Amino acid sequence: MADVEGVRTFQADAEAYDAFMGRYSRQLAPLFADFCGLKTGQRVLDVGCGPGAFTSVAVVRLGLEAVSAVDPVPHFVEENRSRHPGLDVRQAPAEQIPYGDGEFDIAASQLVFHFLSDAEQSVREMSRVVRVGGTVAACVWDFAEEMEMLRAFWDAALSLWTDAPDEGHVMRFGHERELADLMRGGGLADVVETTLTVTSLYESFAELWSTFLGGIGPAGAYVLTRSPDDRNALREAFHHRLGSPTGPFILGAVARAVRAVTPA
């Protein structure tokens, strides 16, 4: 859906997404599923499913028929379908979920709320499709400090260009209480907030840098806007920010997760 702001930086294919962010989201998904309280017998909606990291965990735990998913990016919808033949995956933004009232026990959104055009409307929609007493849950990266890959990248960019669009400053909900306040503002009850921590191993800095060249997300899109000389300068600054690794290294990432209950 071209009118959804966040979609514009996710036009690359699923392989590029998996190399850049999927390596983190696949590790995050089981932790987020635990936090959401997935149990046999529930129906779950994956909102902003992407290629299907959280979907995969939900399918394994609950069965194919108990899981549905939506995403506004057509090739992510197709990729999720191909990975889970027979799955009900629909092309739609979080702001306009194409399901009826109270159809699900849980509506969960992993690593999406940073990119929504209307987060408040998305909370209303997720609440609408969940039964009374059901769960609405979301998680996002802590871009400000604890998503090491992106924090180091934007610090490197800012060291070269003071107008670089740092996600830690321009993205919403990456700080403590922001997602929780959003849920409370949407009329949800029993709001619980926590953090979920994952890591990713890179065989080399060259591997890490190559994932940015896929153009995924604001960081990848920003790299592609720079000239070849600028890219080389950014690459060197980024390498320096990470301590100039010469071999394998590990980066950590912390997600802020919130769940809440739909009231009567």
Give residue 170's pLDDT. Answer: 65
Give residue 10's pLDDT. Answer: 56
Residue 253 reports pLDDT greater than 60:
yes
- E-only strand ranges, 8-128: 44-47, 67-71, 88-91, 104-110
Q: Which helix (H) or strand (E) holds 235?
A: helix 228-241
Residue numbers of the domain that contains 170: 5-261
- Tell me: the pLDDT tens digits for 59-100? 999 999 999 999 999 999 999 999 999 999 999 999 999 999
Residue 131 reports pLDDT greater than 50:
yes
- Tell me: the pLDDT tens digits for 186-235? 999 999 999 999 999 999 999 999 999 999 888 999 999 999 999 999 99
Give residue 145's pLDDT. Answer: 66
Count of domains forming the chain? 1
- pTM for this prediction: 0.91
Give the C-alpha separation, 120 to 250, whole Å: 35
- Tell me: the pLDDT tens digits for 104-129? 999 999 999 988 999 999 999 999 99
For residue 166 the two structure tokens come to 């740092």
Which CATH number belongs to the domain containing residue 165 in this structure? 3.40.50.150
Distances (CA, A) of 127 to 101, 172, 197: 9, 20, 26
| Phi then psi dihedrals of residue 228, to 5 deg | -55, -40
